[in-house]
Amino acid sequence: MLFSPSQKIVLASNNSGKINEIQALLQQQLIVKQGDLQVPEVEETGSTFVENAILKARNAAQHCQLPALADDSGLVVDALQGAPGVWSARYAGVGATDAQNNAALLKALAEVPEAERSARFICVIVLFRHALDPTPLIAQGVWEGRILTAAQGNNGFGYDPLFWVPEQQCASAELPFAVKNALSHRGQALRQLAALMQ
Ligand code: IMP
């Protein structure tokens, strides 16, 4: 096994929604967020999810001299040619709140009929064993759905209130935590990663 139980792994994110989901799925390892280890955030300059995940994980591994995990995720909307994509967290501007991003998405799709509101969440997770790791572990999950015309539900974070989940007939923000983890892009990617770590 590459990673022993209770191995400390730095998570290159300070988003508490993500940390909870990641720790719940990688129960064997001790996940420490980079903010607790004074890791400066790196600029997400990539134009793909995988580039940004690599930038973040390598930066955290370099600063901590520990294995480091980064996820880069976002929402890809067909009617918007893939936007917000890697700009999901910043769709309404740098530092935008979830509510502002959701409002911007509803506005951009205002004239788009239900049948053309297909979208998917993507999550790429990268694990560097050390900063110079030439073969980081890479996993990707995809969760298909559709963008609602108004927010529904109070769970989750980000675009969850606007993401209709066909197999559950509700919004992602209406799903219990465990159900979301079983279906979501991040859950899929983490289970793939856990398998690669064996
Ligand atoms: P990242 O932190 O650069 O990966 O940005 C991810 C952004 O994509 C988040 O800030 C959310 O806006 C959105 N996002 C990613 N995963 C989810 C999810 O599971 N639910 C809702 N929004 C998500």
How do the domains of the chain map onto residue ranges? 8-197
Question: Is the pLDDT at 162 greater than 80, yes or no?
Answer: yes
Which residue in 36, 71, 72, 133 is the catalytic one?
Answer: 72
Which of 45, 69, 75 should be mutated for ligand 1, with most atoms under 8 A from CB? 75
pLDDT of residue 24: 79
Long-range CB pairs of 19-28, under 8 A, 24+ apart, other chains included: 20/177, 21/177, 21/180, 21/181, 21/184, 21/186, 21/187, 21/190, 22/69, 22/71, 22/186, 22/190, 24/177, 24/181, 25/181, 25/186, 25/187, 25/190, 25/191, 25/194, 26/190, 26/193, 26/194, 28/3
Mean pLDDT of the chain: 94
What average pLDDT does range 47-75 have in this prediction?
A: 97
pLDDT of residue 14: 75
Question: Is the pLDDT at 198 greater than 50, yes or no?
Answer: yes
What average pLDDT does range 79-93 have in this prediction?
A: 97
What average pLDDT does range 163-191 have in this prediction?
A: 95
What average pLDDT does range 153-158 have in this prediction?
A: 94
Give the Å distance between the CA of 158 and the centre of ligand 1: 6
Query: 20 vs 99, which has greater pLDDT?
Result: 99
pLDDT of residue 22: 83
Distance CA(41)–CA(56), nearest Å, equals 8
pLDDT of residue 2: 63
Question: Is the pLDDT at 1 greater than 50, yes or no?
Answer: no
Which of 47, 88, 172 should be mutated for ligand 1, with most atoms under 8 A from CB? 88
Question: Is the pLDDT at 64 greater than 90, yes or no?
Answer: yes
What average pLDDT does range 121-131 have in this prediction?
A: 96
Concerning whether 78 is annotated as a catalytic residue, the answer is no
**Fold held by 8-197:** Maf protein (3.90.950)
